[in-house]
Amino acid sequence: MKNDLKLTKQGLETLRKELEELRDVKRPKLVERLANARSQGDLSENSDYQSAKEELEFLDGRIDELTEVVKTAAVVSTGAKGGKDGVSVGAKVTVKVNGAKTIFEIVGEWEADPINKKISHDSPLGIALSGKKVGDRVEVEAPAGKLQYEILAIE
């Protein structure tokens, strides 16, 4: 696990809620399902037992992973003081690419959701934008070729 794991306050809260749901709701139900399957007899041919056991192992792994993230993550303040310090985690960045304006939110890697315009600070675009100020231009290699981004605003 990285020591420099960064999350926004909202991102950390989302992960905490997921952890709580997994630990307090889903895991007890899965343990009960496993116990019921175990009581059905021959475990070697009991597919429900095998399935529940595998799901529990996966769930426990996710719980351990989220517990570590929640424990070690550094919460960053949202925004970049109006862009004075440049783009950083928590900032909303308005850029112009191919003549179109787009707003991206720079988030920690655990919060990334490209479909909803939340990009990780560790992504190629996140790295390119990091520390840049309004008016700066960056070039990012994409599958379709190099794209030019102009920073129009930082919130």
pLDDT, tens only, 91-126 = 999 999 988 999 999 999 899 999 999 999 999 999
Domains 6-75 and 78-154 share a fold: no
Does 78-154 carry CATH code 3.10.50.30?
yes
pTM above 0.85, yes or no: no
Q: What is the pLDDT, as a whole number, of residue 127?
A: 93
pLDDT less than 70: residues of the chain: 1-4, 42-44, 78-84
Q: Which two tokens stand for residue 40?
A: 């059905």
Contacts with 24 (C-beta within 8 Å, 6 or more apart), sequence order: none
Look-up of token digits 């139900």: 29
Q: What is the pLDDT, as a whole number, of residue 2?
A: 47
- Consecutive H or E run containing 34: helix 27-38
Domain boundaries, the chain: 6-75, 78-154
Helices then strands (H, E): number in the chain?
A: 4, 7
Q: What is the pLDDT, as a whole number, of residue 54?
A: 93
Strand 6-8 and strand 74-76: the pairing is parallel
Q: What is the pLDDT, as a whole number, of residue 79?
A: 53
CATH top-level class of 6-75: mainly alpha
